[in-house]
Structure 1
Amino acid sequence: MAQLQAVSLADQVYQRVKQDIFDFVLLPHDRFSENQIAERYQVSRTPVRDALYRLEREGYLEVGLRRGWSVKPLDFERIDELYEVRITLECAALDRLCAAADIRDRLQPLCATWMVPADDREDGMQIMAELDEQFHCELVRIAGNGEAARMHQEVCERIRIVRRLDFYQAQRIEKTYEEHALILQALLDRQRDVAQHLLCTHIEQSRQSVHKISLSMLEAARRSYRAG
Structure 2
Amino acid sequence: MRLNLITLPGSTATPGPGITLAGQAYELIKRDLFEFRMLPGDEFTESELVARLGVSRTPVRQALYRLEREGFVLLRHRSGWRVHPFDFERFEALYDVRIVLEQAAVTRLCGLHNMNSHGELTALKHLWLIPPEERLRSGTQVAEQDEAFHCALVAATGNAEMAKIHRDVTEKIRIIRQLDFTKDHRVDATYQEHGAILRAILARRTDEAVRMLKSHIEMSKAEVRKITLHRLQAARQMLT
TM-score per shorter chain, which class? 0.7 to 0.9
Instruction: Say yes or no: does 1:56 pair with 2:68.
Output: yes
Spell out the pairing of 1:1-228 with structure 2 (5 A cutoff). 8-66=20-78, 68-106=80-118, 107-209=121-223, 211-213=225-227, 215-218=229-232
- After superposition, what is the alpha-carbon deviation per residue over 1:108-133, rounded to whole angstroms, capped at 9, x for unaligned? 22111100001111112222111111
Q: Distance in 2 between matches of 1:72 and 1:104?
A: 43
Give the drift of 1:73: 0.3
* Higher helix proportion: 1
- After superposition, what is the alpha-carbon deviation per residue over 1:68-110, rounded to whole angstroms, capped at 9, x for unaligned? 2111101111011111101100000111111111123222221
The SS at the match of 1:48 is helix
Q: Distance in 1 between matches of 2:91 and 2:143?
A: 17
The SS at the match of 1:32 is strand
The SS at the match of 1:73 is coil
- After superposition, what is the alpha-carbon deviation per residue over 1:5-57, rounded to whole angstroms, capped at 9, x for unaligned? 99543333323322332343323222222112212333321221122112112
Closer/same/farther in 2, CA of residues 56 and 178 from structure 1, 3 Å limit: same
> Aligned residue pairs: how many?
222
Give the aligned residue type for 2:67: L
Give the aligned residue type for 1:57: R
The 8 Å contact of residues 165 and 210 in structure 1, kept in 2 or not, is answered as no
The SS at the match of 1:26 is coil
Q: Distance in 2 between matches of 1:144 and 1:8?
A: 30
Closer/same/farther in 2, CA of residues 109 and 214 from structure 1, 3 Å limit: farther
The 8 Å contact of residues 13 and 51 in structure 1, kept in 2 or not, is answered as yes
Give the drift of 1:213: 5.0
Gaps of 5+ in 2: 1-13
When structure 1 is superposed on structure 2, of 174-183 and 11-20 the one drifting more is 11-20
Q: Distance in 2 between matches of 1:3 and 1:21?
A: 20
Q: Given the two structures, how large is their TM-score scaled by the length of structure 2? A: 0.82
- After superposition, what is the alpha-carbon deviation per residue over 1:196-219, rounded to whole angstroms, capped at 9, x for unaligned? 110011111122236535554236
Closer/same/farther in 2, CA of residues 45 and 67 from structure 1, 3 Å limit: closer
C-alpha root-mean-square deviation of aligned residues, in Å? 2.6
